[in-house]
Amino acid sequence: MERKNILKALSLIEDFEQKNVEIDEILSNLPISSRIELLQEITRDIIEQNSIIKEHGFAKEKICDPESSNQESSSINSLIDNLISNIQKSPSKKVLYLRLFLERFRDISDQDKNVVIQSIKDEDSKGLKEKILSILKVFKLEG
C-alpha cells in the first residue's frame, strides 16, 4: 500500500511539474513589459501631462527616461549636459532649470537645494558642469 501511495505522490509531482512548464510557456508568450519599459512609459506620460513642463517649453527629448542602475553615471552626465544646454539656450530661466534638475534628487533636502542654487546661479555655463559634478559628489550622488 505504501508503494502505491508513493507512486501516486510521484505522479502528482510529475503533473505539477508539467503544469509549471505549461504556465512558464504561457507567461513567456505574454507581452509583459520590463520594469525599465514601464518606468519609461510612466515618465513619458508624466512629461506629456505636466503643466510646468508644457508651460516652460521643455522638449521631451531633453528629459531623460529612467535608465538601469548600471547606466546611472552616464545618465547623470547626460542630465547635466541637457541642463547646461537648456541654460545656454535660455539663460533667463537658469534658476528654474537648476531647481527642476535638483528635484530629481530626493536625497537632497530643500534647504540644501536652495543653497546649491544660490552658489551656482551666477556661475558661467563653461564651469557649471564641474561645479555641479562636485556638488553631486558632496551629496554622494556620483556622476
Instruction: Label residues 128-142 b or e (16+ Cβ within 10 Å = b).
Output: bbeebbebbeeeeee
* CA 140 to mean position of chain CA atoms: 17
pLDDT digits (tens, 9 = 90+) for 98-121: 888 888 877 788 898 888 888 888
State the cell numbers at 79: 542630465
Residue 104 gets which letter from DSSP? T
d(CA 105, CA 49): 21
* pLDDT tens column, 33-86: 777 778 888 887 887 777 776 666 655 555 554 444 445 556 777 778 888 888
Q: What is the helix (H) or strand (E) element at residue 78, kind and residue range?
A: helix 72-89
pTM of the model: 0.47
